Chain A
Amino acid sequence: DTGVSQNPRHKITKRGQNVTFRCDPISEHNRLYWYRQTLGQGPEFLTYFQNEAQLEKSRLLSDRFSAERPKGSFSTLEIQRTEQGDSAMYLCASSYPGGDYGYTFGSGTRLTVV
């Protein structure tokens, strides 16, 4: 078990381009979460999955954002038509059911939109 893995670590893209991030959770964890963190702020909830079902989405997740978790394993987060305001660290986390013991975060994907 190597923890939660996120790829890529860094992504620089031009405004208007689409980007996709991948997250591989800890294998025993059936809960998977996406958060976004901007400089000087704490992580903000975007969405979470239980197995392959996306059970909650934040209002922060506009129509340009979509997340999937096919087969309940890895997850992808896609941002279409990126904007400069999308520049942030995108964090994936996983947990046991209920999250009672907290999350394990991945190393994050830092997105810079130029």
Chain B
Amino acid sequence: QKEVEQNSGPLSVPEGAIASLNCTYSDRGSQSFFWYRQYSGKSPELIMFIYSNGDKEDGRFTAQLNKASQYVSLLIRDSQPSDSATYLCAVNMRGNFNKFYFGSGTKLNVKP
């Protein structure tokens, strides 16, 4: 079992729709969760982080964390073609805040 798992996609949504990206992780003790966006050929860019169970909203983005289910998700409201990218979930593990395990990413396509 991989430490962090994501559906590779591609996930296709029409412009203006809500995109829902999901991530599961293996370490029940994980405490820090991050979402990064990566455009093709570019480096990852931090979108959001979440530490506590529940929802965290930032503009069109909402991160959702459920530690009991070891599940973190990212919702993108009013999706735009410019949101088309690969979204990476990153999780710290085993109490080590000095490195993160990344999922392989979910490719999102937003169709005009």
Contact = CB atoms under 8 A, between A and B. Distances in A.
B97 A100 contact: yes
A99 B100 contact: yes
Contacts of B70: none
Contact of B43 (A31, A40, A100, A106): A106
Interface stretch (B12-20, B61-69, B75-83, B102-110): B102-110
Nearest to A6: B43
A105 B43 contact: yes
Contacts, number: 57
B1 interface: no
Interface in A37-84: 40-45, 48, 55-56, 58
Contacts of A42: 4, 88, 90, 102-105
Interface string A82-114: 000000010100000011111111111000000
B6 to A, nearest CB: 8
Contacts of B90: 42, 102
Interface string B7-38: 01000000000000000000000001010100
Contacts of A107: 42-43
Given A91-B44, A99-B92, A105-B43, 6 more contacts: A42-B104, A91-B43, A98-B97, A99-B97, A100-B49, A104-B46
Interface of A: 31, 33, 35, 40-45, 48, 55-56, 58, 89, 91, 98-108
A-B pairs, 7 with minimum CB distance: A42-B102, A105-B43, A45-B99, A102-B46, A108-B43, A43-B102, A102-B34
5 contacts: A35-B102, A42-B88, A48-B98, A91-B43, A102-B90
